[in-house]
């Protein structure tokens, strides 16, 4: 893929999509456009992107196939950073991408490493899309990123890092020893930019990371760097499993309540990461993933320590808060 790629990104106003958009633009080697659904076309965040000279393609995902194919025409690489509640809607995109001759489809993966089915609701739904891709023999790359630094540190008793936390807590799950792949949200994009320019990643799964840390290790680092003693709360493996069972049962009884889905997949994560220990390099390799750090040894991702030093210095940013990405303010 030496020639300049035309990349179409869906979900550019989200956290993952935002990281990807900035990195693709910064790389300078892609013709970047974004795709939005009609309901989002007038959003200020989309207008802001359009005002930077980025072309916006608008289409409903339930549009007739010919319209979706037209929307994807001329695109080399399609990247989906669609929301967690709309994963299955990617089916129409997969079919349109095949018909439009897209050369690489990057479905919405971007989560922790987990079994294909039977453990995490989100992963189960992603698998439906991966299988549709394989049925249609569409060239693809699945990119998982582990868990973000931004969600991976505990509350400090002083409260001085609360400003950047979505849900302050200081819980250790199980015995806290499960190794856990971590990537800074801001590095998702730079990894993606490298991966989509690389023929070695075509029709492969790949995981990104800066650190592999257990909860115990994270708490120790945070205590050491802050000088504060965290009041550790413990949730046993059994308690985690009970929460998953309760969330699954809730969702089964009330399948149409969005909060039920959210509750389910928020409880799936600690079960998969900490009780099962899925989100680690050995399991990723067992599943056939490539390691992005082995492919791009020259790229130095933001370490958890460097990330947390920023948070301590008041330079953190609360995810899903609508604030511009940290370190990217000047660009906007």
Q: Identify whether 126 is a catalytic site residue.
A: yes
Task: Catalogue the long-range contacts made by 236-240 (C-beta closer than 8 Å, 24 or more residues apart).
Answer: 236/174, 237/173, 237/174, 237/274, 237/275, 240/173, 240/174, 240/267, 240/270, 240/271, 240/274, 240/275
**Contacts of residue 39, Cβ cutoff 8 Å, sequence gap at least 6:** none
> Whose Cβ is closer to a copy of itself: residue 163's or residue 286's?
286
Place of tokens 């050995």: 282
Interaction site with a copy of itself (CB under 8 A): 115-119, 131-132, 134-135, 137, 203-204, 283, 286-288
Cα atoms found within 13 Å of the Cα of residue 248, Cβ hemisphere only: 13
For residues 192 and 24, the answer to whether their CB atoms sit within 8 Å is yes
CB of 203 to a copy of itself, least distance (A): 5
Candidates 269, 309, 312; CA nearest to 162 is 312
User: Which residues are bridge partners to 173 per DSSP?
Assistant: 235
**Contacts of residue 220, Cβ cutoff 8 Å, sequence gap at least 6:** none
> Whose Cβ is closer to a copy of itself: residue 64's or residue 116's?
116
Give, in order, the Cα–Cα distances in Å from 124 to each of 114, 116, 181, 254, 257: 10, 6, 20, 19, 19
CB of 284 to a copy of itself, least distance (A): 11
CB of 212 to a copy of itself, least distance (A): 17
> Whose Cβ is closer to a copy of itself: residue 115's or residue 319's?
115
> Whose Cβ is closer to a copy of itself: residue 76's or residue 132's?
132
Which one of 47, 55, 98, 126 is the catalytic residue?
126
> Whose Cβ is closer to a copy of itself: residue 288's or residue 298's?
288
CB of 187 to a copy of itself, least distance (A): 26
User: Which residues are bridge partners to 58 per DSSP?
Assistant: 36
CB of 198 to a copy of itself, least distance (A): 17
Active site residues: 126
């Amino acid at each position: 893929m030496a020639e300049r790629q035309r990349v179409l990104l869906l979900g550019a106003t989200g956290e993952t999509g935002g990281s990807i958009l900035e990195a693709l633009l910064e790389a300078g080697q892609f013709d970047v456009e974004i795709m939005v659904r009609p309901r989002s076309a007038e959003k200020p965040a989309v207008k802001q992107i359009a005002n930077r000279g980025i072309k916006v393609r608008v289409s409903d995902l339930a549009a007739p196939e010919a319209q979706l194919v037209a929307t994807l025409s001329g695109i080399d690489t399609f990247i989906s950073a669609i929301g967690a509640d709309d994963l299955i809607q990617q089916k129409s995109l997969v079919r349109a991408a095949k018909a439009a001759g897209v050369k690489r489809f990057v479905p919405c993966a971007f989560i922790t490493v987990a079994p294909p089915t039977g453990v995490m609701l989100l992963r189960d739904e992603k698998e439906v899309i991966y299988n549709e891709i394989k049925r249609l023999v569409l060239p693809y790359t699945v990119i998982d990123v582990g868990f973000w630094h931004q969600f991976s540190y505990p509350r400090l008793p002083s409260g001085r890092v609360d400003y950047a936390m979505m849900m302050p807590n200081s819980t250790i799950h199980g015995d806290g020893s499960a190794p856990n792949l971590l990537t800074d949200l801001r590095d998702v994009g730079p990894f993606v930019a490298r991966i989509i320019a690389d023929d070695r990643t075509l029709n492969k799964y790949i995981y990104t990371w800066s650190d592999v840390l257990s909860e115990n290790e994270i708490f120790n680092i945070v205590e050491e760097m802050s000088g504060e003693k965290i009041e550790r709360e413990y949730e046993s493996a059994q308690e985690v499993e009970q929460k998953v069972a309760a969330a699954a049962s809730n969702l089964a009884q009330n399948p149409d309540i969005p909060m039920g889905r959210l509750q389910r997949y928020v409880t799936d994560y600690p079960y998969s990461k900490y009780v099962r220990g899925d989100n680690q390099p050995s399991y990723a390799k067992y599943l056939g993933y490539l390691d992005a750090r082995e492919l791009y040894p020259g790229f130095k991702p933001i370490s958890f320590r460097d990330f947390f030093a920023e948070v301590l210095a008041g330079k953190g940013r609360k995810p899903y808060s609508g604030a511009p990405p940290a370190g990217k303010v000047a660009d906007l």
